[in-house]
Amino acid sequence: MEGNIPSDLEILEDIYYRYHKDFRKYAKKDPDRIARIRVPIEVEDVAEACGVEEDMIFGRIFYHFNKNYSYTNTDGEVTSFFSTEKFEGLSVNFPLVASVLADKYDEKKKYETILLLVAIAVVISIVSLLVAFFV
């Protein structure tokens, strides 16, 4: 597989939209997984959708996302982004995925706003220069 390296945003979007229905359909009576917030994922499917090898996605989720988005609360309890459960396999903390994805959207929006302001400033500068030279 060759192509672009997927961004964190692209990986998170794929996980969120691919598994949102699974998160929502959790049944309190006769549940199909240990906890509602933990949603099993198929790394192979995410990798295929992102156009990279399975190991690349696993490594990004397990090493990069876990390091950056897992946290320890004041009681010392660890909330991990990604885990491997003996009976469920690989899973993500779905509300944490949604939270990180929302933060990524905010970052993207800020970046796009700054880029737009810079473009407007450049256009104003060019117009000013043209007016100064030709008037």
CA 45 – CA 22 distance, rounded (Å): 15
Question: Which CATH number does the domain 8-110 belong to among 1.10.10, 1.10.540, 1.10.287, 2.60.40?
Answer: 1.10.10
Mean pLDDT of 56-68: 93
CA pair distance 101, 15, nearest whole angstrom: 10
pLDDT of the residue at 27: 64
**pLDDT of 1 over the 50 cut:** no
pLDDT at 101: 96
- What is the average pLDDT across 2-23? 91
Q: Which of 49-58, 83-92, 101-110, 118-127 has the lowest mean pLDDT?
A: 83-92
- The structure tokens listed for 121 are 């400033």
User: What ranges do the domains of the chain cover?
Assistant: 8-110
**pLDDT greater than 50 at residue 119:** yes
Q: What are phi and psi of 57, to 5 degrees?
A: -70, -45
